[in-house]
Amino acid sequence: MKVRARLAAARDVGLVGLVLVLAAACTGQGGGGSQSAGGGEDTGPAVDVRISPKDGTSEVAPNLPVTVEAADGTITDVRIEQTGGTADQSAQGAGQSASPTAGDGAPDHEITGTLSEDESTWVSDWNLAPGSTVTVTATAENSDGEQAEAVSEFSTEPAAEGNRLELQSNFPTSGQTVGVGMPVIVNFDLPVENKAQVENSMEVTSEHTVDGAWNWFGDQTAVFRPKEYWQPYQHVTVDLRLAGVQASEGVYGVENHQLNFEVGREQISTIEDSEHTMTVERDGESLKTFPISNGRADVRKYTTTSGIHLTMEKYEHLVMDSSTTGIPVDSPEGYKLDVEYAVRFSNSGEFTHAAPWNGRLGESNESHGCTNMSNADAKWFYEQSLMGDPLVITGTDRQLEVDNGWGYWQRPWEEWLANSPTGEPDTTDGNGTPGSVHAEEA
C-alpha cells in the first residue's frame, strides 16, 4: 500500500485560519510560497518551506498533487481549504444523500496526505475539486523547534459542461444488506480512459480486511470483487473520491460519493443439474433441498448455464415473454407466462420461479432455461434471498459468461487481478489504494 504516515488537510475555514505561534526567530513569508526559520548563525539551520502549486497560479489541473517540502526540517502540519466550484457543492451535501443511488453522504473534499519517512515531504493523497480556490497552509520546524509557515493560494481548472464524469448508478445502494458474493458495481455516464487513476480514487473499506481488485467491463462500468466471498455480518464502505480525477483528456470527475452497505448471512445455493435438486446452505448448515427442473437443453438457448451465479433481483409477479430473447410469442417455441416468486440469476433470461404446470420437478429438465420450482419452494427461496447470494450450478455443457449478469466469480482470482489496470491487490483496510490518483506526469 502506498500510505506510510498521514497528516490530515482540513477544509474547515476555522482550522485554516488558526493563529500559529511562531518562535521569535521566525521571519516573514518568503517569495514563491516559502518561508525560512532562523536568521542568524546561532539560530540553527533554516527551514525552507515550499508548496506546489505555487502561490498565484491559476487553472491548475485538479489531478496535479499538492506537494509540500521542508529543507533541513520536518513538516508538522498541512491544511487545505477549498472554496467555490464543486468543493462548496460537496460541503453543502455532506451527511446527506449524495445521489439517488450512492446514498448517505459524500466524503467531502477533505484532502489527506502522505509524509515521507524523514517527514520532509508531504504529498496529497486525493485530487482537488475542479473550479475551486485552494489555500494551502503548511508549517515545519527545524531541529531547534523553531517553526515556519508558508501559504499558497491558487485556483483549479473548472470541469466544462459535457466533460464532467458523474456517477450514473451503483450496486448495491447505501443501506442495503447483501449476500456474501455481492460485488461493488459502479456505472459512469462517460467513457473512462485513465482507468488506473479512477480505480485508485475508489477506496473500499471493510470490517474484515480482504484483498480485492477492480475490473472494467467496457469503458463505463467498474466492478470490485474480493478474492473470496465477503465474510458475513460486516459493514462495508466505498468512498468514491471522483472529484478532480481525470477520466480522459479534459474530462474530470466533479463530485465525491460514499456508499455504505451490510453483508448479511452467508447463504449459498447449489444445483446439480443431473440430480434435479437445489440445496440451500446458510452459515455452513444445510437448510433445505428442493426438487427442481432446469432447461431441457435440446438447444443451447434452452440450456441452463453452469457456474457461479449471483441472485440479482426478484419479483413477486413477473411476465416472462419469449420475444425478449428473440423468440416471437406466436412462434411454435414462443411463450408469454405470468410467473410468481421469480429470482433472476443471469441476464440471459434465467430465473428461479414457481412453475405449477411442470409435473416433472425432481425428475427431468423441462424448462426453457429457468429453474422451475413448486409454488411453496419458490416462495420460500424468494423470501430468503438477498441480492448477491451465490447460486452455483454444475452439470450442464453451457458455461456462464463472466459478463452475463453478475458472473464475475467465473473469472479466477489470478485472472481477475491481472485484468485490473493497477495490477495490484486493493486491500480493504482503509489505508489507501494501490497507486496514485494524480496525473501520470506528476
- CB contact at 8 A, 65 and 438: yes
pLDDT number for residue 108: 59
CB atoms within 10 A of CB 415: 11
pLDDT number for residue 329: 78
- 362, three cell numbers: 425432481
b/e sequence 242-265, b meaning 16+ C-beta within 10 Å: bbbbbbbeebbbbbbbbbbbbbbe
Indicate if 33 and 48 belong to the same structural domain. yes
Total domain count, the chain: 3
**What is the maximum alpha-carbon separation in the chain?**
98
Q: What is the pLDDT of residue 115?
A: 97
pLDDT in tens, 216-269: 999 999 999 999 999 999 999 999 999 999 999 999 999 999 999 999 999 999
Is 44 domain-assigned?
Answer: yes
**Domain for residue 434, yes or no?**
no
Indicate the residue among 260, 275, 304 that finishes a domain. Answer: 260
Among residues 134, 155, 176, which one ends one of the domains?
155
- Cα separation, 163 vs 252, in Å, equals 7
Q: Is residue 64 part of a domain?
A: yes
Q: Where are the alpha helices (DSSP H) in 132-258?
A: 195-200
Residue 373 is predicted with a pLDDT of 98
Instruction: Check if the beta carbon of residue 370 is closer than 8 Å to that of residue 345.
Output: no
Residue 86 is predicted with a pLDDT of 66
Boundary (domain end) residue, out of 99, 132, 155: 155
Q: What residues are annotated to the active site?
A: 353, 370
| 120 and 176 share one domain | no
| Claim to verify: residue 134 and residue 171 sit in the same structural domain | no
Residue 59's pLDDT is: 96
Sheet with 133-141: list strands edge to edge: 74-83, 133-141, 147-155
CA–CA separation, 44 and 36 (whole Å): 11
The boundaries of the domain holding residue 216 are 164-260
CATH classification at residue 229: 2.60.40.3710
C-beta pairs of 352-359 under 8 Å, 24+ apart in sequence: 352/278, 352/292, 352/378, 352/381, 352/382, 352/391, 353/318, 353/320, 353/378, 354/378, 354/379, 355/293, 358/293
Do β-strands 390-394 and 267-272 pair in parallel, antiparallel, or remain unpaired?
parallel
Dist. CA 210–CA 228, nearest whole Å:
8
Tens digit of pLDDT at every position of the chain (442 positions): 444 445 655 433 332 322 222 222 233 333 345 554 444 444 554 789 999 999 999 999 999 999 999 988 999 999 999 998 765 543 332 222 334 344 445 555 689 999 999 999 999 999 999 999 999 999 999 998 899 999 999 999 999 999 999 999 999 999 999 999 999 999 999 999 999 999 999 999 999 999 999 999 999 999 999 999 999 999 999 999 999 999 999 999 999 999 999 999 999 999 999 999 999 999 999 999 999 999 999 999 899 999 999 999 999 999 988 777 777 877 777 778 899 999 999 999 999 999 999 999 999 999 999 999 999 999 999 999 999 999 999 999 999 999 999 999 999 999 999 999 999 999 999 999 999 999 875 4
Instruction: Based on the fold, state whether residues 132 and 235 are members of the same structural domain.
Output: no
Instruction: Confirm whether 411 is domain-assigned.
Output: no
Looking at the fold, whether 114 and 190 belong to one and the same domain comes out as: no
pLDDT at 15: 28
Cβ atoms 317, 274 nearer than 8 A: no
DSSP reduced 3-state for 306: strand
Q: Do 90 and 106 have their domain in common? A: yes
Q: Could you tell me if 91 and 212 lie in one domain?
A: no
- Please indicate, yes or no, if residue 394 is contained in any of the structural domains: no
> For position 302, which CATH number holds?
2.40.440.10
Evaluate whether residue 403 is within a structural domain: no
User: Are residues 55 and 27 located together in one domain of the fold?
Assistant: yes
Same domain for 250 and 300:
no
Instruction: Classify residue 129 as exposed, middle or buried by CB count within 10 Å of its CB (0-12, 13-18, 19+).
Output: buried
- pLDDT for 49 equals 96
Please indicate, yes or no, if residue 412 is contained in any of the structural domains: no
Domain of 125: which CATH number?
Answer: 2.60.40.3780
pLDDT at position 23:
29
